[in-house]
Structure 1
């Protein structure tokens, strides 16, 4: 029985070429092509047969890769997903992996390497290149300099709460909260609450 693959990519020519390539691999068959995550979720919600593997692009209209990955994690956490994109920034890679993506490939990968990755994900559950492993390590290193309470404060500081309300929420004195704020200003090299929010968004701390 063939291993089925769903392709989620808004570039029609690339998606069709990818389908043709995968269908030449022994034991593989593309079960469908979807232009965005919303089209894929509709298929899942219709209770149709699920693919063995989803190949997921990152930048797409309507519902992009990260949004789709979050939806799959919540609704179908065992679904195997392999990201295939031109985006190679550490924030995107680590976010996708944290959401349960089994691997992350760049679109310039050669066919043999691509087939090897497919086999690894389906047979062993994951496939991470050295670049992905390095990105994860760098992200962890970046966050390791923050304490658990500092991360909690940072998350609350990104809401509409005043610092006084944040202090109440964390059961701390306003003076202690001021200390957390000044410590983060120094550690993150920012000078304002806006700087804290931008750091949190960039590093997706609000979604951890």
Structure 2
């Protein structure tokens, strides 16, 4: 099985490579430090990977966007998300992008080879904590927001910039930026795009 490892930490790439190549039927044909490099690898190399182990948060292009683009152009390539993030928005976005599996780094090392072989055989592979996130009913976290935070979130969902929100709500840009950071933390979201999607889906 030909594998590409995508992670912005070179030590993670190297340790995974060493571990996987202990198996006779696994060969790591490349590593990449971000999603764009992974996409370029698939486009430029004649030898395509059978499987990509993909981190989520990386510079230049994150793993979710990379997964989406790779799956669009190379649907037969299997992609396993291998990350520290176990929040529901990231999980759902990864699955929507076409990921075939989702593992948490802290628990994946114990049976990584078995999980890869399960994926290769056609099974979807998900960490137990990921499954729990997907099946548990979601609390309406919007109730955690203050009136100001809710107002900022609403304007983000409308597509306004920080400057436009500041002018609309008579706040400083710095206050809007800080408020947005608090909102993302409370709702366990990664960026304003996720916030906009979350708000539009869950607002009453």
- 2: distance between equivalents of 1:84 and 1:204? 28
RMSD: 2.6
- 1: distance between equivalents of 2:65 and 2:108? 27
Q: 2:197 aligns with which of 184, 189, 201?
A: 201
The two structures have a TM-score, normalised by structure 1, of: 0.65
1:61–1:204 CA distance, 2 compared to 1 (3 A):
farther
Q: 1:32 aligns with which of 16, 30, 33?
A: 30
2:124 matched to which residue of 1? 126
| Runs of 5+ consecutive residues of structure 2 not aligned to the other structure | 141-153, 161-192
User: How many matched pairs?
Assistant: 154
Residues 99-121 of structure 1: CA distance to partner in whole angstroms, max 9, x if unpaired?
Answer: 21111111112534111111111
Alignment of 1:21-170 (within 5 A): 21-109=19-107, 111-138=109-136, 158=158
| Runs of 5+ consecutive residues of structure 1 not aligned to the other structure | 144-153, 161-196
1:203–1:64 CA distance, 2 compared to 1 (3 A):
farther
Mapped contact 1:95–1:204 kept (Cα < 8 A): no
Mapped contact 1:8–1:55 kept (Cα < 8 A): yes
- 1: distance between equivalents of 2:131 and 2:61? 26
1:200–1:124 CA distance, 2 compared to 1 (3 A):
same
1:7 matched to which residue of 2? 5
1:199–1:45 CA distance, 2 compared to 1 (3 A):
closer
1:149 matched to which residue of 2? none
- 1: distance between equivalents of 2:194 and 2:78? 31
Residues 144-189 of structure 1: CA distance to partner in whole angstroms, max 9, x if unpaired?
Answer: xxxxxxxxxx9xx7458xxxxxxxxxxxxxxxxxxxxxxxxxxxxx
- 2: distance between equivalents of 1:57 and 1:69? 10
